[in-house]
Amino acid sequence: MNWAWRFGIIVLSGVPAIIGGGITYGLTENWAAVIVWEAIVFCLLVAVLLKGGKAGSSHHKVAVH
């Protein structure tokens, strides 16, 4: 798996973590709810990183001669 892809996914997941955390705190004014939101985003991030494009079909890969 490409390290650049992993880094990109980590950076990309930062957006919903920060924005969602702010929205969650704005709606609930409760830090526990923010921690739950961050845990959900973290679990989704780990799931995406572990799966890591393994489900992609082989016809999308470039053949090197």
Pick 25 or 59 by higher pLDDT: 25
Q: Is residue 44 part of a domain?
A: yes
- 59 belongs to a structural domain: no
Residue 22 lies in a domain: yes
DSSP string, 25-57: HHHH--HHHHHHHHHHHHHHHHHHHHHTTTTS-
Domain span at 41: 3-51
**pLDDT score, position 4:** 87
Inside any domain, residue 46: yes
What pLDDT score was predicted for residue 36? 98
Domain count for the chain: 1
Among residues 7, 8, 40, 6, the alpha carbon closest in space to that of 21 is found at 40
- Of 57, 55, 48, 36, whose CA–CA distance to 7 is shortest? 48
* pLDDT higher than threshold 90 for residue 42: yes
C-alpha span between 22 and 34 (Å, rounded):
8
What is the average pLDDT across 32-38? 98
Residue 61 lies in a domain: no
pLDDT (mean) for 3-31:
94
Is residue 13 included in any domain, yes or no? yes
Q: How confident is the model at residue 59 (pLDDT cuts 50, 70, 90)?
A: low
Q: Which residue has the higher pLDDT, 27 or 59?
A: 27
